[in-house]
Amino acid sequence: MTAGIEIKKMFLDLQTKIDQADATLRKASKLGMEVGEAQMEQTQARDDLTKARVTLHSFEVARVKRDVEAANKVANKNEQAGLQALLESKYRRMAQRPTIDFIDTYSAAYRLDVFETAGGFDEALQVDEDQELSFRLAEAGARLVFAPEAVVYHRHVATPLAYMKRKFRIGYWKVLVAAMHPARIITDSHTPQSLKAQMALLALVLLLLPAASFSRLARKALAIAAGTLLATTLPIAARIAADE
C-alpha cells in the first residue's frame, strides 16, 4: 500500500513538472526564442510517463521508478532551457539600447572608483541590492552598457518550486527598491512595457471573474479586459508566425 501511494505521488509530481516545463517553453516561444528542440524533448518525457503508468500494471516497481526518473530528468532539463530562453529575450532587448539602468550582479562588472564613490550596495536590502545600485548609478549619471560579448557563468535554481520561492523574495524586496526609485516603476531597460500592461490586465481579469457570474456590467468589463490582454500578444504571435 505504501509503495502504491509513493508511486501515485511520483506520477502526480512528474505530471506537474512536465506541465510547468511546457508552460515555460510556450512563454519563451511566444517571445520569439528558439526552444523547438526542448519542446520536442518534452514528448519523450510524456512518453516515459505513459510507459511508467503501463508498467505499473505489471507491478514492477523498479521499472516504474526508472521510467519516472528518466522523464523527470528530461522535464527538468527542458524547464531550465525555457527559463534561459526567457532571460535571453531580455538580453536581446538590452543589447539594442545605447545605455541601460538595470544590472544583476551575477553579470555585472563595475569600475572600483565608481563603485566606491556610490557607496557600494545598500546593506539594508537583503535582496535586489544589485538592482538598486544600478538604478542609483544611472540616476547619478554613470554610463551603464550591455556587453553581449562578455561571458559569465551563473547557476540557476534547479526546480520550479525553488524558482517561485526566489521570485517571491525578489518581488517582496522589489517593493522597497521601487519606493527608493519610483521612476523605475514606470520604465527600466530590463522590463518590457508590454509585460507590465499584461500583468495589470491579468490582475483586472482575475478581479472581475467573481463578479461576472452575477453582473452584466462586470461581464462586459471582463470581455474588454480579456480581449485587450489577448491583443497585446498579437505582435509576438505575428513575429513567431513570420519566423516559422
Domain ranges of the chain: 1-94, 97-187, 192-244
Q: Which of the residue ranges 72-76, 186-190, 197-201, 225-229 would you say has the lowest mean pLDDT?
A: 186-190
**Rounded average pLDDT over 137-157:** 83
CB within 8 Å of 152: residues ≥ 6 apart: 106, 107
Query: What pLDDT is stored for residue 92 in this prediction?
Result: 78
What is the distance between the alpha carbons of residues 143 and 145, in angstroms, rounded to a whole number? 7
Query: What pLDDT is stored for residue 133 in this prediction?
Result: 92
> DSSP alpha helices (H): ranges in the chain?
2-30, 36-56, 61-95, 112-117, 129-139, 160-180, 183-186, 193-212, 216-232, 234-243
Say which amino acid occupies 97. R
The distance from CA 231 to its chain's CA centroid, rounded to whole angstroms, is 21
Look at 173 and 232; give whichever has higher pLDDT.
173
Alpha carbon distances (Å) from 64 to 84, 212, 234: 31, 45, 43
Provide the mean pLDDT of the chain.
78
pLDDT exceeding 90 applies to what percent of the chain? 2
pTM of the model: 0.55
Sign of CA dihedral 13, 43, 81, 239: negative
Residue 185 pLDDT > 80: no
Query: Is 196:174 a contact under the CB 8 Å cutoff?
Result: no
Strand partners, 100: 144
Burial class of residue 126, CB neighbours in 10 A (0-12, 13-18, 19+): exposed
Query: What pLDDT is stored for residue 90 in this prediction?
Result: 74
Q: What is the pLDDT of residues 35-79, one digit of tens each?
A: 777 777 777 777 777 766 666 655 566 776 777 777 777 777 777
